[in-house]
Amino acid sequence: MTAWLECSVEVDQEAVESVAEVLARYGYNGGVVVEPSWTPGDEGPEFRYDPSRPSVLRTYLPLDAQSEEARQRIEQALWYLGHMRPVGPLQVRTLAEEDWANAWKEHYTVMHIGARTVIVPSWLEYEARPDDVVLRLDPGMAFGTGLHPTTRLCLSLLEQYVQPGMRTLDLGTGSGILAIAAAKLGARPVFALDNDPVAVQVAAENVAHNGVHKVVEVAEGSLGAGRRMGHWLSGDFGEEVPPQPAVPGEAPHTFALIVANLIARVLITLADDLAANLEPGGILISSGIINTREAEVTSALAAAGLHLRERHVEGEWVALVHQG
Ligand SMILES: C[S@@+](CC[C@H](N)C(=O)[O-])C[C@H]1O[C@@H](n2cnc3c(N)ncnc32)[C@H](O)[C@@H]1O
């Protein structure tokens, strides 16, 4: 029976990418698990991802004649990187085959969501069934691969609502997961916007990796009042930033479908803009709503002239479907 070495290290956000590269060089099948640090926020537990706190990165190597050398090389590479960025000490422990299989599975494996959506990490093989909508995504820094219940709710609703050729906006795209899913379900064109430049970069990579770059346009930006907001984790609306074009392309920017996995506070502020950018009869899927603020979101969207079609709940999170 094979035994495994689990190598893990705590790193500062800025070092995640370079340390992940080092671990991927030696880890089994190039697989690296990134556990971001979720902290309790004012919109509920485990929602806020705090970039000022370290993430934990892990990889696994088969315990054999080469593993000691690999471990030393990882340590050496981390030591070099540690001169430039805060990188914690390498923690190593031996796992029996059985424990390894569970440790790996616990962190990241093929995930089935809704009736057809399957999320597959890039280092795993997966034989797709005819109806599967396969998304190739790795755990990364931007929100959207954990998976958070708010993302799962949106994926199931996209399966239900996307019709081929629907002009779609994914507002607050994060890793791009919802835009990619919409495109694979037949939506087009799809615009993926985020006001966080790191998310925009990650989303663009994921879009390309999933082969939907001709359908999905990723850009940094927001919609209406959202263009004047600072970063969503800043706790306030930040400084005024000059308006940028919401969506590249011709005006008017109306959509048959908008999916917005934001937070209650942002959805309330953007209610009028969301409604104004929806074509008559168009569908808005809004998510990221902590149950204690659901009533405020529904009244803001009703005041904007949208009609509630359905609501779904997972734990303390609510997703709503409205029609224009
Ligand atoms: C909860 S995450 C959702 C990510 C992804 N769509 C998912 O479902 O997993 C919210 C995303 O919205 C972005 N965001 C927050 N406020 C925004 C705003 N006003 N305009 C555009 N994007 C915003 C954040 O940067 C973050 O990537």
- pLDDT tens, 248-263? 433 356 899 999 999 8
If you average pLDDT over residues 133-157, what whole number do you get?
75
At residue 104, the pLDDT reads: 60
CA-to-CA dists, residue 129 to 120, 121, 164, 175, 251, angstroms: 13, 17, 20, 25, 40
Let me know the angle formed at the C-alpha of 171 by 173 and 222, rounded to the nearest 5 degrees: 110
Measuring CA to CA, which residue among 182, 180, 152, 154 is closest to residue 168? 182
Mutate to test the pocket of ligand 1, among 196, 273, 286 (most ligand atoms within 8 A of CB): 196
Q: Going from the N-terminus, what domains does the chain have, and what CATH number goes with each?
A: 3-107 (3.30.70.120), 144-323 (3.40.50.150)
Max CA pair span of the chain: 67
Give 221 or 274, the one with higher predicted confidence: 274
Strand partners, 98: none
Ligand 1, pocket residues at CB < 6 Å:
142-144, 151, 154, 171-174, 177-178, 193-196, 199, 222, 226, 229, 232, 261-262, 266, 288
Higher pLDDT, 123 or 320: 320
194 CA distance to ligand 1 centroid (A)?
Answer: 6
Residue 154's pLDDT band, with cuts at 50, 70 and 90, is very high
Q: Where do the DSSP E strands lie in the chain?
A: 3-11, 33-35, 38-41, 44-49, 55-62, 91-96, 111-113, 117-120, 133-136, 168-171, 190-194, 216-220, 255-261, 278-290, 307-314, 317-323
Nearest CA to ligand 1 atom 11: 172
Rg over alpha carbons for the chain, rounded to the nearest Å, is 21
For 114: left if phi > 0, alpha if psi spans -120 to 50, otherwise beta; the answer is left
Q: Say what the pLDDT of residue 260 is.
A: 97
Q: Give the pLDDT band (50/70/90) at residue 17.
A: confident
Tally of CA atoms within 13 A in the half-sphere of 224 that contains its CB: 18
ipTM at complex level: 0.99
Name the percent of the chain lying above pLDDT 70: 79
Cα separation values, 97 from 2, 5, 45, 120, 124, Å: 5, 10, 33, 22, 17
pLDDT of residue 14: 78
Task: Return the percent helix, strand and coil in the chain, to nearest 5.
Answer: 35, 30, 35
Candidates 42, 48, 111, 194: which one to mutate for ligand 1, based on the most atoms within 8 Å of Cβ? 194
Question: Ligand 1 centroid vs 209 CA: distance in angstroms?
Answer: 20
